[in-house]
Structure 1
Amino acid sequence: AEGRLVEILSTGIDTTERKRAEDALRLSEERFRELALLDNLTGLYNTRYLYQALDALIAASAAEGSAFSILFVDLDHFKRVVDSRGHLNGSRAIQEVAATIRGCLAAPAWAVAYAGDEFVVVLPGFPRAAAVEKAREIRARIRETAYLAGTGQPARLTASFGVATYPDDTRDLESLLAIGDQGLFAAKRSGRDSIVAAGGSAGRGTSPPL
């Protein structure tokens, strides 16, 4: 009987340890998948996540008959910061701008580190007018923030914005991204520190810079 009790206790311990190991492995795998979708520098989502999530958002919005918008955000003349302050401070400034953008968003909105000093903000449930207002908020917050303040030489930055809205501008993922990027280009061309929203079906034409 005593031997049987020891065997039962041993089996219970083995089962508990195995479950702990399996739980730890599952959490590790979940964390790995999460990290694979995050940008290393900023902690924002990366482009891999952007495409996956936008595909799902388009499907959900089509089923619900709802709108959403994306903002393309690019820092103005950021190369000057890198040239004058160095690449390390340039990376720090991008981290700080990412924090500024994140601070302007509440779920279900989210942001992506898109390329270099460019970001994409995804705004589920936002029609064009609401998206433009959010772009104005982010633009103002970037303007008023002193970046690299810890260096003793704070940098002032501005940003340009392109806005695209589903389904007003397009129902296609690649076209939506292209329209947002075109708006950003128009904002840059207009003198920077401005917001351009696409207008018309399939993004034909743009609104005047805001």
Structure 2
Amino acid sequence: MVTCPLASTSSIYSLLGVFLLLDASLSSCQERWDDPICTESVVSVFRGSHAVMSCNISNNFSDITISLASHGERVRTIFNETPPGNASEDGWQLQIHGGQAQLVINNVQDIHTGQYQWRLHGCQAEIMNIFLNISESQDQEEAIGQRRSMSSSSQDSLPTAEKLESSPSSGRKETITIVVIVTIIIIILILGITHAWHKHHHMQKFQQIRASVPDLRDESEPPSGAYLPLP
């Protein structure tokens, strides 16, 4: 009579147990859906403050993958974790317990902004997107306004020469004004020189005419010492 080894019998029982567990798990997943519920699609926080994003499902998590798509950068994976436990990376902290997951950022900066893609895997796989936006607090906005006003006042207090250099239109206007003034002065000088030349020429011509005509007074008067004859 041939008998089967006990090891073979125990192996068969182990395989049957695995199949029963898988069947129970599949039956449970078919009966219950993950039904993910996450934080609102847009989260806005002040710079340097505390931010929390969360996603919960009805079943326990099998694994979670979180990726970030920042402005002008390629999509990068921040976490790819299997529960339970906590993980941290460059200011991010991921906490997973059963069907609950939280992503915490204690000091929000520009590197943390962007669209977060959550791949949630329980009995099914779901993808959820959450956008994290940074806004300025009132104190930060006032500080930015003061810096802008100081910059504007420093521009207004520049020397006149620097203002003229920074304003081409005002430089052109001054150049045109100078040219007009110089032109008027030149015209006045030309008119004065022309008037003086005409006056001098007229005097010369008058003297020439006077020199060419005999002195009538000298011819009509008798020479000195002569007497007229008596009738």
| TM-score, length basis structure 1 | 0.25
- TM-score, normalised via structure 2 length: 0.23
Q: Which has the higher helix share?
A: 1
More strand by share: 2
Larger Rg: 2
